[in-house]
Amino acid sequence: MEHQTTQLQDATLPLEQDPHRVDPLGDGISSVALVRASGSDVDVANAARVSYGKVTDVVTERDKKLIHFLLAHNHTSPFEHNQISFRIKAPIFVARQWMRWRIHCRATKIGARQWMRHRMHSYNEISYRYVKAPVEFYIPTAWRFQDTQNKQASVGAFENKELLAIYKASIEQSYKAYEQLLEQGVCREMARATLPVCTYTEFIFTSNLHALMHFLKLRLGAGAQKEIRNYAAALLALALPHFPVSLGIWQELYVPEIKDEFTELFTKYAG
């Protein structure tokens, strides 16, 4: 059976016309673009059934029940025989939260043999050692309050023009210092230390379904920061058409409310 690989991003299209690219923060700068999807739900079914020497070319109702069973009972290895890559443009503070999820190892011992299972994400990021940072910053449209129950979370929303002016002035001062250092001959790798974490960065993010679902389960959680939740929802919406059975079942099992919360996003990109 031929392995399915699809190249997706069209860099010539405006963002609003590209069916494989989302602006998750709605500021015309942020971006999640699906670059490549390799594999399908058929690969999941075949990986699960290889123990019995079975091979299929299409996903049957029986296969759908099998995939549901695998996801419901955390039998995850059949979801690792695929690859999906995204090009991400995000504020540095979002990227640093994101890249915490690189590798997870589990060691099990069977008799005298020890096996290591790796759940991996791969990243390559633009370097502001090599290029000058762009004048692109995340400016929130509203502020949130600190959650008094969950120390790492935020709640509510309010507007305050005075606070926004303070925020923007801080960014302007930081970038002015950055440019002044460069103008005086300071190397990029040192001058970049003045940049605020709301500066945009770009990176390629590659994963498999198992690792992606683990990431999404954490970053779509109620306690996750709003900005990275928007990115996680964009990942799911763009990947869903390429693995509709696996991701559709996973979504119903673990984040059933997401399609209602991000209705416009899923209607446009995931049907």
pLDDT of amino acid 98? 93
Please tell me the predicted confidence (pLDDT) of residue 82: 96
Q: Are 229 and 206 in contact (CB under 8 A)?
A: no
**Tell me, what DSSP letter sits at residue 27?**
S
Q: What CA–CA distance (Å, rounded) separates 182 from 16?
A: 35
> Cα-atom radius of gyration of the chain, to the nearest Å?
21
Residue in this structure with the two tokens 């008799």, named with its chain if needed: 111
Distance CA(80)–CA(246), nearest Å, equals 12
Q: Is 219 a catalytic residue?
A: yes
Compute the average pLDDT of residues 237-266: 95
CA nearest to 21, candidates 29, 31, 11, 6: 31
Per residue in 10-53, pLDDT (tens digit) is 554 565 667 789 999 999 999 999 999 999 999 999 999 998 89
Q: What is the average pLDDT value for the chain, to the nearest integer? A: 89
User: Tokens 């955390």 — which residue?
Assistant: 74
Please say if the pLDDT value at position 164 is more than 50: yes
Written as six digits, the tokens of 83 are 């690859």
Structure confidence at residue 152 as a pLDDT band (50, 70, 90): confident
Q: Considering 87, 119, 192, 219, which one is annotated as catalytic? A: 219
Question: Which of 11-20, 69-78, 196-205 shows the lowest mean pLDDT across its residues?
Answer: 11-20
pLDDT score at 102: 59
Report whether pLDDT(206) > 70: yes
User: Do the beta carbons of residue 193 and residue 205 sit within 8 Å?
Assistant: no
Task: Fill in the DSSP letter of residue 77.
Answer: G
209-219 vs 226-239: helix axis angle to the nearest 10?
150
Q: What mean pLDDT do residues 156-178 have? A: 97
CA-to-CA distance for 99 and 106, rounded, in angstroms?
19
Which amino acid, one-letter code, is at 229?
Answer: R
Q: How far is CA 80 from CA 49, 154, 175, 238, 252, in A?
A: 14, 34, 42, 18, 20
Task: Tell me how crowded residue 249 is: count the other CB atoms within 10 A of its CB.
Answer: 20
- The 3-state DSSP class for residue 125 equals strand
Using one digit for the tens of pLDDT, what is the confidence trace for 135-148?
999 999 999 999 99
Q: Which residues have a Cβ under 8 Å from the Cβ of 260 and sit 6 or more positions away?
A: none
Average pLDDT over every residue of 211-227: 93
pLDDT range class, residue 249, cuts 50, 70, 90:
very high
Per-residue pLDDT tens digits for 98-119: 987 555 544 444 433 333 344 5
Rounded to whole angstroms, the Cα distance separating 23 from 231 reads: 9
Question: Tokens 């910053």 correspond to what residue?
Answer: 137
Of 25-39, 113-127, 173-187, 234-248, the poorest mean pLDDT is in 113-127
Residue 221: C-alpha distances to residues 215, 225, 228, 271 (Å): 10, 9, 10, 23
